[in-house]
Amino acid sequence: MSIQWNLEQMRLFVRVAEQRSFSAVAREQRKAQSAVSNAIALLETDLGVTLFERSSGRQPKLTEAGTALLEEAREVLRQCDRLNGRALALMRGQEARLRLAQDEAMPYQPVLDSLEALSEHFPSVEVQLASGAQGDVARKLVERRADLGLLFHHEQMPQTLERRALGSVEMVTVCAVNHPLAASLRVNRQQLARHRQLLIAPQLSGYPGGEQLSPQVWRADSFYVMAELLMRGLGWAWLPRHVVQYPAYQNQMVELSSEWTPPALVVELVWRRDEPLGPAARWLAERFAEHLQAIG
């Protein structure tokens, strides 16, 4: 069956179904009632079904077929609106798609708040969000599998990437509630060195908090993996405060007062030097910086 119907007929079908009146839609569209009726009749002919029951002096009522096709028609019109919106955005220089890669230990509330705001300000931009352990974010950018990255500053940054500091997150010294150190009001470096230390990997990452105090060390490439090991009493660690405050970890960790704690983790926005950021990416970066400072 060849498709002859057009979008104007589809819009009129939806409006008549919603208004339950040919005359009301005709007034709304500034058309003759006969033009609206003829458009619906042509649509019915092309679809091969009757969409409305028509009785003299009564409001048009959807047939069973009309009811079944109404939502399909609405979806066709929604798709057309999306197409027009995407085309307009492209004409204005806006990205069609934004691929965001983030360190999995990034504070999730600023990320979610920023993406929610992005969806309202740039509704036509398609977002692809990927999370990964240390090193994954930079690798995705280098391999052109991401357009924008959120990660914690470290020294081993590829030369092909640009970066901009957005804010920071506090680091704290913690252990499990059943760990021997949990009973101490304050711990020094000597006390910490007597117990297994959990550290972010790899050893040469340049991440703050990479200093080894204990002769016995376990390493992980994820702060959340470190937290899971810590809760089982397998060692103490320096973790970002927002990781310690994660709801699943409540009442299972003890923050230790220590004579030394690593400097705050600096959150950076990262992108490829040869691919400048588009307006949606730049806007998202500003929102994330605002939300990150708010939790600080």
Structural domain spans, the chain: 7-91, 97-166+267-295, 171-263
Q: How far is CA 272 from CA 15, 160, 207, in A?
A: 48, 6, 21
What class has domain 7-91?
mainly alpha
What's the pTM? 0.60
What is the DSSP track for 161-200?
EEEEEEEEE-EEEEEETTSGGGG-SEE-HHHHHTS-EEEE
Strands (E), 104-140: 126-132
Query: Rounded to an integer, what is the distance from CA 235 to the centroid of its chain?
Result: 33
Looking at CATH, the fold of the domain delimited by 97-166+267-295 is given as D-Maltodextrin-Binding Protein; domain 2 (3.40.190)
Over residues 166-205, the pLDDT tens digits come to 888 889 999 999 999 999 879 999 999 999 999 987 544 5
pLDDT tens over the chain, length 296 residues? 557 888 899 999 999 999 888 899 999 989 998 998 999 999 999 899 999 988 766 788 899 999 999 999 988 988 887 777 667 656 656 688 899 999 888 888 888 999 999 999 988 889 999 988 767 888 899 999 999 999 888 777 787 888 888 888 889 999 999 999 999 879 999 999 999 999 987 544 555 556 889 999 999 888 889 999 999 999 999 999 989 988 889 899 999 998 888 888 889 989 888 777 788 888 998 898 888 887 65
CATH superfamily entry for domain 171-263: Periplasmic binding protein-like II (3.40.190.10)
What is the DSSP track for 192-206?
HHTS-EEEESSTTS-
Do the domains spanning 7-91 and 171-263 agree at the CATH topology level? no
pLDDT at 204: 47
Residue pointed to by tokens 């995705």: 140
Q: How far is CA 3 from CA 38, 42, 62, 138, in A?
A: 17, 12, 22, 48
